[in-house]
Amino acid sequence: MKQKTSPGLKIISLNRKASFNFFFENVYEAGLVLKGSEIKSIRSGKVNISDAYAIERDGEIILINAHISSYKQASYSDHNPMDDRKLLLNKREINKLIGKVNREGFTLIPTKLYLKKGKAKIEIAVAKGKKQYDKRQSKKTRDWNRDRARYVRKTS
């Protein structure tokens, strides 16, 4: 799933289910506090953020349930793949996120993990869950757009 977009930006992992299951309000870029074997594993692309989410704990934003596979060459200093990882954000951003999550019922969902100038960054979206009828509607519009593109391709 490694995909290059622009120079200095290398996408490692995408959370494709997120846009289907949630409405996004804001998107923030955050750094990650990682161990050496974790960043090596990320650089080799062995990451899964599809079930991950972020919470507030002791005034910090923590990424939960992100799976970073063990690094094969790390011997005694290997990491636990399902560890909680601290996100690096400004204090003002942290306060905004905590306010949204606590007062307005939003949740923090990672949408993309990428390397930017050699540093691991994660894109966190402030999101609200979709209802079943919203999911049906988005599936219907996606199918219609696909069919419309087929019709246009056949006629030209």
Indicate the pLDDT class of residue 149, thresholds 50, 70 and 90: very high
Q: Where in the chain are the domains?
A: 3-130
State the Cα–Cα distance between residues 106 and 117, nearest whole angstrom: 31
pLDDT of residue 5: 58
Residue 135, H or E segment: helix 132-155
CATH entry 2.40.280.10 includes domain 3-130: yes
Per-residue pLDDT of 15-45, as tens digits, reads 988 888 888 999 999 999 988 888 888 888 8
CA 146 to chain CA centroid, Å, is 26
Q: Is 0.85 surpassed by the pTM of this model?
A: no
pLDDT of residue 6: 65
